[in-house]
Amino acid sequence: MAMTIQINENISIQVYFDRANREEGYNDDICFRLIETGPKDYRIFAADETAFSLTCEQAEQLAYALRMAVKEGRGTLPPYTPKQGQYLAFIYHYTQINKRPPAEIDIQRYFRVTPPTVHQMILRLESAGFITREPGQARSIQVLLAPDQLPYLE
């Protein structure tokens, strides 16, 4: 299924999944086609259309970058740093997959950092109001942000 986004009266972008690329063994099967009409003097590109393909992972990264740009444009950027966002995303996804929150050692292993580094980050996230936990109780971390407020986990 192709989706066409009309940018202005002369420019549109078509986005689609190219099954033929997948069947031929390629993994860059998310296709973008920039189509320009109108006078050649005012075109961005010399050709009528320009196409490129992305892998699914690259397309997800582009989608995330676009979402972040929209949030910045609307003045709704998340109040956390990129590193804090990664910790929040990890805690959220770990909990979804394993049906229980991670222990600090799980976070330590994923990010390949020291125990004090993880603990300090947990304290910062808690003091900022991004998570809640029961001190002294294992696996009690809960992310307080909605999933759509979390970044793509890298």
CA proximity to 53, closest of 27, 90, 79, 83: 27
Q: At what angle do helices 115-127 and 104-111 cross, to 10 degrees?
A: 110
The hierarchical CATH code for the domain 82-149 is 1.10.10.10
| Mean pLDDT value of segment 46-72 | 83
Q: What is the distance of C-alpha 45 from the center of its chain?
A: 29
What does the pLDDT read at residue 149?
A: 87
What does the pLDDT read at residue 148?
A: 86
pLDDT classification of 28: cutoffs 50, 70, 90: confident
Give residue-wise pLDDT tens across range 97-146.
999 999 999 999 999 999 999 999 999 999 888 999 988 889 999 999 88
Among 8-12, 44-48, 65-69, top mean pLDDT goes to 8-12
Contact 93, 153 (CB under 8 A): yes
| Mean pLDDT value of segment 31-40 | 88
pLDDT classification of 21: cutoffs 50, 70, 90: low
Pairwise CA distance, residues 118 & 84, whole Å? 11
- The SS3 assignment for 120 reads helix
Percentage of the chain modeled with pLDDT above 70: 97
- Domains in the chain: boundaries: 3-74, 82-149
What does the pLDDT read at residue 77?
A: 65
What does the pLDDT read at residue 98?
A: 97
Tell me how far CA of residue 46 lies from CA of 39, 63, 69, 116, 151, in angstroms: 11, 27, 27, 56, 36
Residue 74 CB partners (closer than 8 Å, separation 6+): none
